[in-house]
Amino acid sequence: MTDQLFGANLVALVTPMDPNGAISQPGLTSLVDHLLATGCDGLVVGGTTGEAPTLTDTEAAELVRAVATQTDKRAKVIAGVGTYDTAASIDRARAAEAAGADALLLVCPYYSRPSQAGVVAHCVAVADATALPVMLYDVPARTGLAMEAPTLIELAGHPQIRAVKDAKGDLFEAMNVMARTSLAYYCGIDELNLPYLASGATGVVSVVGNIVANRNADLIRAIRTGNLDVAQAIQRELLPLADAIMRTSGGAVMAKAALAELGIIPSATVRRPLLEAPESHLQRLTAALATIAVPA
């Protein structure tokens, strides 16, 4: 089952940093403890929310190693390894495998805007480089290029390519690809977790889950057991927090701000070119946090 490869209630980890911008090991330990305690069964390390473009190769591998060691098989560790360079992505994939990752997250190559044939060639080359299962990451708002449906269907034929994190938001396309392949879909847009799950998605890769992974677990459980009224109530409860985190200064910035406000990580520091949230956004965040019971 795909749940056994990646989990269902996945969180896109922030990368905790101290005020000087160095990775905070105490912050990372505290965050992972918090997520394991709140029902997260998959930790995505070094993805967009983890500020992947600012991480060195050494930092990326060390983050995977630290999280894999701490989780000790209690949750899947999915390493973000995608770049715009196939050779560099292969190097990161092999380093993540050596560091103890259970799976890889492979974003569509950004900036260079290859053809769809180039996207296929890139993904196949990275998937061939390790024995780990691969989750494709389709996020055209960030990459400037979508993985088109025929591309996803072709890539589904590769034995290592098993899932898609869909941050495209085209639910009709997602349902069609799910119907034509064995790819497991994971919603990568917190605002749309409910409709994706109700349409057959296996799970979520959530930014808001950094704070309330327990409520995402409840949402997944409600859909799987056919309790649509309960699922709708949970989604309504989470909407103010999703709005405050995803529709202001951006997921990485605001998730860190929330975690710092709650005392789970020591600082809301982000690396340039990101900037910490302005006071008006922090006020919206504080108001949203006040509406929800956040696990200690």
Active site residues per annotation: 137, 165
Count of alpha carbons within 13 Å of 175, Cβ hemisphere only? 9
Neighbours of 150 (CB within 10 A): 11
DSSP 216-232: HHHHHHHHHTT-HHHHH
Which among 83, 104, 84 is positioned nearest to 95, based on CA atoms?
104
Can you read off the two tokens belonging to residue 95?
Answer: 């380093």
Amino acid at 5: L
C-alpha–C-alpha distance, residues 30 and 42, integer Å: 16
C-alpha–C-alpha distance, residues 258 and 282, integer Å: 8
